[in-house]
Structure 1
Amino acid sequence: MSIELVHELPRRLRFKSIRLANRKLDHLHLEASLSSLSGVRSVRLNPIAGSVVVNYDGQASHRMAIFRWFKERFADAITITLPDGEYNEVTPSPAGIFVAGLSLLSLPLLKPTARRLLTYAVVAPTIWHGTTVLFTRGIKVEVLDSLAIGLAASRGEYFTAVATQGLLNLGEYLEHKTERHSDALLRYLLKPLPTQAWVERDGALLQIDCSELIAGDCIEVGTGDMIAIDGKVIGGNAAVNQASVTGESLAVRKEMGDKVLSGTVIEEGRLRIHVTRVGSETTTARIAHFIENSLQQQSKTQCLAEDLANKRVYITLGLGTAVYLLTRDIDRLASVFLVDYACALKLGTPVAIKSAMYHGAKQGLLFRGGQAIENLAEADTFVFDKTGTLTSGLLEVTDIKTFFPKDWQPDRLLALVASIEEHATHPIANAIVQFARQEKIGHIEHEEVDYLIAHGLTTHVNGQRVAIGSRHFLEEHEKVSFKRFNRTISNLLKQGKTLLYIAMDNHPLGVVALRDHLRPEAKTVIHHLRQLGIQQIVMLTGDQHDKAMALGTELGIDHVYADCQPEDKAKVVKQLTAQGYKVAFVGDGVNDAPALISAMVGIAMPKGADLARATADVVLLNDDLATIVEAKALSKATMQLIHWHFNLSTAINTGLTIGAVSGVVSPILSALLHNGTTIGILLNAMAGARYKQFR
């Protein structure tokens, strides 16, 4: 593919290719791919000139990496094109602005007949478009614009007609560019993954298409490379930039056993990675799917804004007609028609929401559309499922208590539990299996394991039924009594420990005690949520009452629900909702999905189960509870910005309408002030809401 370096300055390269002028080309994807290279500071594409300018840090190695990208990946990057619906749509062009401007300068120099013909030629597209809209969609703002311009042209007010047309062209062009830019900001987050990878096959290192990778492969990535898959490090070490996925600004050191995510970039070092997820299952693909779906979802405020805007078109039409019948003044009629409530209301709201989604994603959180932002802004009650949210979820084994030490020594009991729990993926199972490996405990053979979500496991060992899980599960479902050992159990619970109960053939064998650690930021997060107007904070936990209350008091929780079963979580959320509270639920487990759905807004932690993330309205990308505060502050500020825009637009346009009715505001001034207001609101919306940073 022909691409040449046409100019070079220190830290700046300019390349040119005729293929860069392809109107179907998704320029954002190409810019994002180049921007992912280490050392690249900015990328500016000029489709008209067919060139791209790359600014970088000046390092020779990074310069070579840029040239290598054009040699190896440019051909693939230019094959990524926009969907037909995007590049075929009618796009406002600045040409209309220049035509109107030149026509205004030419009018005084032309004879009357030429003036009339030139004016009709300039305003004809708007009049035709307004007529088409009238017969296909009914009375909309385009109809009012065409009426106002048509009236001026028909009365011989050519300067007014052309000047108004120019202002409409300018407003339409800037509005379109602003709205498209808000979409572009979000699409810019979806950086394209590399198309090829180095994989180990039959003892050799081969370069293959990423589409051919499968789970279980082993790949190698080095400095400057973007990781194309999700996987686990099995060799090497590297500093990995995760900003595009988690929002973390600093590179993270990755070593043996660490997980790596697709879309992250190796800044320094080299890794051998065991592939666990490819294609549509990778983190980047799921984030992309999440964002693309979010762009299609409208909030209640967006729908209300569009409804009000459409209704006010009829009010404007009726008012203009009444003014003309009373005054017989065409100028007043045209001035009224050119005051349009619709643009600022209909365009300002989605642009502000998309801007919030973009800024949220940059900070490590994803909103599932505008409704999620609106709901989180309105939430007055936060419900936390303790484990994995207020606590780290990283449990450690502290005690192995056997009730029959002669038959079941602690090591043997641990071997039994670890052998069965290795088939589960919840935090307790992971902690026990990891502890058993550290202690080099052997494996006990068993039959197939049955897993009852959030309750426990059952299997058979040498023909004997083994049950492991919560006390409630063993006593209610397995009919095992632990009353004889209440003193031992109570002492462990008073120490704030989580217990896993073990029984064989309906007889208790012992318990494994684990300790979870409170997140260091938990108390600060709750304090900041109260500063943001949260009325009450609720904690749900399966812990026994004394332990739960002690933790609740330490954190300043308003209401604590102890001894909670999985099915209780959704019930509590529904009860609070029935009492009139607007509930946000924060969870991370499979059993949290019903509560996440039942709440007005569900928030999923990054290490949570796939089902929890799939059902949540807001997904955190980095494991920092403070991100929840940022999400609340951002959503609240965004809705305040939208309401302020709504009130400002209504006030200004109402003032313009009064001026138009009284004859103070001319058609040209009406168009100028109205379009200026709309453009100002759109630019302010795109800049995003300003709010206090809590991190």
Structure 2
Amino acid sequence: MTVIAHETSGRLRLRLDRSSADLWTRSAARVEVVRGVKEVRLNAPCASLIVAFDGTADTRRAILKAIDEPIAADAVPPAEADGPDLAQVVMSGALMALAAVLPPPLRGPVTVLNVAGVVLRGIRAAARDGLTVEVLDAAAISLPTLRREYLTANFTRFLLDLGGYIEASTARRSDHLLRDLLQARPDTVTIETPSGEVIELPYDEVVEGARVVVGTGGRVPVDGVVAAGAAWVNASAVTGESLPVPREAGDSVLSGSVVEDGRLVIAAERVGEATTTARISRYIQEGLADPSGIQSESQKMANRRVLITLASGAGVFALTRDWRRLESVFLVDYSCAVKFGTPIAIKAAMFRAAKGGCLIKSGRSLEAVAAVDTVVFDKTGTLTHNTLEVTDIHRPAGAALDEPELLALVASLAEHTSHPVAGAVVDLAKRRHLAHIGHEEVSFLVGHGIGSTVCGRSIRIGSRHYLEEHEGIGFEGVEALIDRLAHEGKSMLFVSADGELIGVIGLRDRLRAETPAVLRRLRALGIKTVAMITGDHEAKARQIGTALGLDLVFHDQKPEDKARVVEALKAEGRTVAFVGDGVNDGPALMAAHVGIAMPRAADIARATADIVLLEDSLDAIPMLRGLATETMALIRSNFAASVAINSAIMAGAALGRLSPVATATLHNGTTIAILLRALASTGAGRARRSTPVR
């Protein structure tokens, strides 16, 4: 039962059981994905978990339920002590050599000593789980022992141990990819105090707001913003960017990045278990504990193959009465390559995805991405940035101001408001280096516009409704222009001086630069339908849809409509992925077969998504699709190869063409080759985005 050490509104500090410290990270990962949870921080030295949430009773209950749910022992990555046992390989090899040179009377006892462990494991497995690969191994090694074919029995034991060692080594290597990806956290962190003194602090004592110092060759231990200094930073281990990028005051840096040249003072924004590297670790460990559908099916298939081997051996012996053929057939185990190769391929893909900028919460999510045929994007913050851009600046005939003067005038007044339209105008004026125009105090009419006096003239800026209804401004002569801009899906800002219209400014959503290329790559990777959901009116939505070549555009959609659209597409038989970033995207992310959240997404969106992007770019999505389809194809081809090769080996064994020793050698060689092929899918460069994020 969880002990609540301290509680305030929206914050829990939970005391953890020190006897199960190896499960703490998994517990934190479970809590982090609870709807309503804003932040989770694990304080290992104090054995406590700090949870910030929305303060509701439902969320509180869900947090306590998540932390109290038992975690299966086999869901936790094995400890180092349970790794590959080279000593057992050496021991069985030594006993095999010893039995070969001993007098005949002593060979039997040495062989029994050598094979006893395999036989006992088989007996225990049969009693516990029924017919498994351990039972098959025990049968294959018992037959030659009982028939006093000691060389065959000892060599079979040696090959079983050698194959098991290589299988375990391969699996362990795939586990170590996480360590290679993230590196161990530092014991201490260099901090600059307010007085300018540089000191060393234990990693767990670093707090938000601390000024962290990282020099050449150092690894950034926090997520934050550069407060001082300049450096070339390599973030390839975290974001997949292949080249170092310059970072200076005001730029963001992620934990796990390496300073290749220079020195940075970083204002820490996220520390400890809240950093990017800690979140990656939790997501991946949580994901590895949740086997994919194909992984679960592989396990079932592997167990069925054991029965096939036993039945085939019995049939061969019934027809031939040949013990050696029976021994040979029993040494063909279809399950090994299937059982071990599939999880290794899944692990490798998840690690590659993390290097490429995606956090995948489970193997099932990876499998679902490969099956997706329809991708639905929420417009704002996903296909577009959360900002506008100026596209048109028009002056009615006879207007006194030229275009730069008009833009400078509007920007000088608009800089006093935080409205997105104002921000776009101010941004353009800054890029054109236009001078500020002096003015009197700015007045605001919320929802309509702003006004001021400039050089004795009354200036009004805002919507048509504001200027026409409140200020009595006429729009004769610009109706055709307004209709054209509206047809193009653009927003409009109107400017008047002393009761006369002097300017019309057109704006549109700023598309992400990478969006068109990303959509083309998705289609090339087999995505049949690309759709967009937006609350915009039809003309504006259609304009964006046409510009991007979208197949479906759902316009005038309220936030609660998004999930219904996804459900409707699923009802048509489509496999749907939804990409979003807002609080109101949570239901749609959950409704889709695969939910993908942008890195700046609201907490609820990240919690309900199956996949979270690490960088504010869509480039990782086609990388993810390609990786998922490649991984599923690899698993299927490995299975086909395993069945074909082992069937050929079994046929040779059944026909008496292969001795037990030859059968064991060929079978183990096949298994090892397939495992190495699965592990080789971790190739470094292929997981990276084709367009680095700057």
Q: How does the TM-score come out when normalised to structure 2?
A: 0.72
1:274 match: 267
- For 1:295 and 1:140, the matched residues in 2 are separated by 23
Q: CA RMSD in A?
A: 3.9
Contact 1:544 1:562 in 2 (8 A): yes
User: Distance between the aligned counterparts of 2:218 and 2:88, measured in 1?
Assistant: 44
Partner of 2:109: 117
User: Which of residues 521, 525, 528 is equivalent to 1:532?
Assistant: 525
Say which is worse superposed, 665-674 or 94-103, in terms of deviation: 94-103
Structure 1 pair 216/365, CA: closer, same or farther in 2 (3 Å)?
Answer: same
Cα shift readout 1:468-519 (whole Å, capped 9, x = no counterpart): xx99xxxxxxxx9xxx999798666445445799xxxxxxxxx997543223
Task: Tell me the residue number matched to 1:162.
Answer: 154
Query: What is the alpha-carbon distance in structure 1 between the residues aligned to residue 190 and residue 492 of structure 2?
Result: 45
Alignment match, 2:562: 569
Kindly state the Cα deviation for residue 445 of structure 1 after the two structures are TM-superposed.
12
Offset at residue 528 of structure 1 (A): 2.0
Which SS does the other structure have where 1:201 is aligned? Answer: coil
Task: Describe the shift of the 1:493–1:154 C-alpha distance in structure 2 as closer, same or farther (beyond 3 A).
Answer: same
> What SS does the corresponding residue of 1:622 show, helix, strand or coil?
coil
Distance verdict in 2 for CA 1:257–1:413, change over 3 Å: same
Listed as ranges, the matches of 1:185-196 within 5 Å are: 185-194=177-186, 195-196=188-189
Larger deviation, residues 431-440 vs 325-334: 431-440
Deviation at 1:112, TM superposition (A): 1.1
- Asked if the contact 1:197–1:210 (Cα under 8 Å) also holds between the matched residues in 2, the reply is no
| 2:201 matched residue in structure 1 | 208
Task: Give the secondary-structure state (helix, strand or coil) at the position aligned to 1:336.
Answer: helix
Equivalent position of 1:232 in the other structure: 225
1:415/1:443 contact within 8 Å kept:
no
CA–CA separation in structure 1 for the residues paired with 2:84 and 2:217: 39
The alignment status of 1:519 with 2:509, answered yes or no, reads no
Aligned to 1:145: 137
Alignment CA distance shift 1:428-1:275 (3 Å): farther
Does the 8 A contact of 1:193 with 1:227 survive in 2?
Answer: no
Shift, 1:591, TM fit: 2.2
Cα separation, partners in 2 of 1:491 and 1:131, compared to 1, 3 Å: same
The match for 2:384 among 385, 391, 395 is 391
Structure 2 matches for 1:643-654, cutoff 5 A?
643-654=636-647
Report the secondary structure of 2:317's partner residue. Answer: helix
Q: Is the Cα–Cα contact under 8 Å of residues 245 and 264 in structure 1 kept in the other structure?
A: yes
- Does 2:350 match 1:368? no
1:640 equivalent in alignment to 2:628: no
Tell me how far apart the structure 2 counterparts of residues 360 and 169 of structure 1 sit (CA, whole Å). Answer: 33
Amino acid at match of 2:581: D
> 1:37 matched to which residue of 2?
none
Report the Cα offset of residue 570 of structure 1: 1.6
**CA shift digits 1:518-546 (9 cap, x unpaired):** 23332222222222111111122233222
8 Å CA contact retained: 2:410, 2:425: no
* Equivalent residue letter for 2:271: V
Evaluate the alpha carbon distance shift between residue 544 and residue 215 of structure 1 in structure 2; reply closer, same or farther with a 3 A threshold: same
CA contact (8 A) 1:199 1:206 kept: yes
Q: 2:175 is matched with which residue?
A: 183
**Distance in 2 of aligned mates of 1:655 and 1:516:** 61
SS at match of 1:533: coil
> Hey, what's the Cα distance between the residues in 2 that align with 1:172 and 1:442?
82
Deviations 1:188-207 (A, max 9, x none): 21223332221323564443
Q: Could you tell me how far apart the structure 1 residues matched to 2:306 and 2:236 are?
A: 45
Match of 2:9 in 1: none
Q: Is the CA contact 1:233–1:255 (under 8 Å) kept in the aligned structure 2?
A: yes
Structure 1: tracts of 5 or more residues without a match: 1-24, 26-82, 402-408, 422-426, 450-455, 457-469, 472-479, 502-510
**Cα separation, 2, equivalents of 1:297 and 1:643:** 20
Residue aligning to 1:11: none
CA drift at 1:641: 0.8
Aligned AA (1:169): D
Counterpart residue type for residue 117 of structure 1: P
Give the match's secondary structure for 1:254: strand
102, 107, 120: which is aligned to 1:128? 120
Residue of structure 1 aligned with 2:624, choices 631, 650, 666: 631
CA distance in 2, matches of 1:428, 1:598: 33
Please tell me whether residue 223 in structure 1 is matched to residue 216 in structure 2: yes
- The 5 Å alignment of 1:1-16 reads none
Q: Cα gap change, 1:369/1:339 in structure 2, threshold over 3 Å: closer, same or farther? A: same
**Residue 279 of structure 2: which of 262, 281, 286 is its match?**
286
| Distance in 2 between residues matched to 1:262 and 1:115, nearest whole Å | 60
Matched residue type, 1:555: L
Provide the secondary structure at the position in 2 that maps to 1:671.
helix
Given that 2:83 and 2:172 are in contact with CA atoms closer than 8 Å, whether structure 1 keeps it comes out as: no
User: Would you say how many aligned residue pairs link Structure 1 and Structure 2?
Assistant: 564
1:606 aligns with 2:585: no
- Distance in 1 separating the partners of 2:645 and 2:174: 24
Measured at CA, do residues 412 and 359 of structure 1 come closer, stay the same or move farther in structure 2, by a change above 3 Å?
Answer: closer
Q: How does 1:428-443 map to 2 (within 5 A)?
A: none
In the alignment, is the contact (CA less than 8 A) between 1:634 and 1:689 conserved in 2?
no
State whether structure 2 residue 326 is matched by structure 1 residue 333.
yes
The residue type equivalent to 2:151 in the other structure is F
Q: Cα–Cα, structure 1 residues 268 and 317, in superposed 2: closer, same or farther, change >3 Å?
A: same
TM-score, with structure 1 as normaliser:
0.72
Who is 1:579 aligned against?
A: 572
SS across alignment from 1:177: helix
CA distance in 1, matches of 2:193, 2:148: 78
